[in-house]
């Protein structure tokens, strides 16, 4: 696969669900589309898995999985996504992107960790940004569904931000609870945030800044650090 130099660069926002469906998906599409436009890119949104062919994916600078759930691609479509990343493509995952592709081990490594469970309801915590593994920047409050993961991805990814489990109940990861991260993977780039359950969080300036940085990283407009 050879990625095409589309002008302006394009972003594919994929929102197919085979499990729980988040009511925030339309808001996520609108928000991500606007952030892409602000960055000089054009976004297309689809729930049609047939978009995952080598030729079609080669048109896109970034492929976003926005609160996808379950097994959403068949083996041929999975192979097309793997080829896209190996050709230098980029992945951006939002919230339930980590609750996706349980029949697809490669995808779990792309995301960095898989959803394990979450405490009941929405809870308040604090997001602590990081850079190079050191606390960096101002912490900010969050009210969202707060995921626990099947493993701590630190050491395999660059952690972007952690959650403060001392401020809510039901956290299972302890003092080091990554909630956003990125890494180089299999020839491409991958960026993920576990936030994004509610429509309201897509209006929060700090979360918008996090997504903006994610698009910049995934599109190659921002360096790895």
Where residue 41 sits, what CATH number does that domain have? Answer: 3.40.50.880
Mean local confidence (pLDDT), 28-46: 98
Mean local confidence (pLDDT), 195-207: 98
**Domain for residue 142, yes or no?**
no
**Domain for residue 59, yes or no?**
yes
Question: What's the CA gap between 57 and 64, in Å, rounded?
Answer: 11
Question: What's the CA gap between 89 and 26, in Å, rounded?
Answer: 25
Mean local confidence (pLDDT), 43-60: 98
**Closest among 207, 162, 165, 200 to 180, alpha carbons compared:** 162
**Closest among 68, 84, 178, 81 to 125, alpha carbons compared:** 178
How many domains would you assign to the chain?
1
What domain range is 105 assigned to?
A: 10-114+178-218
**Domain for residue 42, yes or no?**
yes
Tens digit of each residue's pLDDT (9 = 90 or more) over 135-146: 668 999 999 999
Look over the chain and give the mean of its residue pLDDT values, rounded to a whole number: 95
Please, which pLDDT band fits residue 211 given cuts at 50, 70 and 90? very high
User: Does pLDDT of 52 surpass 90?
Assistant: yes
Residue 197 per-residue DSSP state: -
Tens digit of each residue's pLDDT (9 = 90 or more) over 91-143: 999 999 999 999 999 999 999 999 999 999 999 999 999 975 566 689 999 99
How buried is residue 112: exposed, middle or buried, by Cβ count under 10 Å (0-12/13-18/19+)?
buried
pLDDT at res. 225 = 54
Q: Where are the beta strands (DSSP E) in 19-76?
A: 42-46, 62-66
CB 145 within 8 A of CB 170: no
Collapsing DSSP to helix, strand or coil, 32 comes out as: helix
Please, which pLDDT band fits residue 7 given cuts at 50, 70 and 90? confident
Collapsing DSSP to helix, strand or coil, 35 comes out as: helix
**Domain for residue 89, yes or no?**
yes
pTM: 0.96
- Phi then psi for 76, rounded to 5 degrees? -65, -40
**Out of 51-60, 136-145, 162-171, 205-214, which region has the weakest mean confidence (pLDDT)?**
136-145
């Amino acid at each position: 696969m050879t990625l095409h130099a589309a002008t302006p660069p394009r972003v594919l926002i994929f929102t197919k669900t085979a499990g729980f469906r988040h009511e925030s998906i339309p808001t996520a599409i609108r928000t991500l589309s606007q952030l892409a436009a602000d960055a000089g890119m054009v976004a297309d949104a689809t729930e049609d898995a047939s978009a995952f062919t080598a030729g079609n994916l080669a048109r896109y600078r970034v492929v976003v999985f926005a609160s996808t759930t379950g097994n959403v691609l068949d083996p041929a479509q999975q192979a097309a996504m793997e080829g896209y990343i190996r050709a230098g493509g980029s992945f951006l995952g939002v919230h339930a992107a980590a609750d996706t592709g349980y029949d697809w081990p490669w995808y779990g490594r792309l995301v960095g960790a898989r959803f394990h469970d979450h405490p009941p309801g929405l809870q308040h915590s604090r997001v602590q940004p990081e850079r190079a593994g050191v606390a960096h920047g101002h912490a900010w409050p969050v009210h969202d569904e707060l995921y626990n993961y099947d493993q701590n991805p630190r050491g395999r990814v660059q952690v972007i931000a952690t959650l403060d489990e001392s401020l809510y109940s039901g956290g299972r990861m302890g003092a080091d609870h990554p909630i956003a991260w990125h890494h180089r993977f299999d020839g491409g780039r991958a960026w993920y945030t576990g936030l994004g359950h509610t429509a309201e969080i897509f209006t929060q300036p700090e979360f918008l800044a996090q997504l903006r940085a994610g698009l910049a990283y995934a599109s190659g407009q921002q360096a790895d650090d």
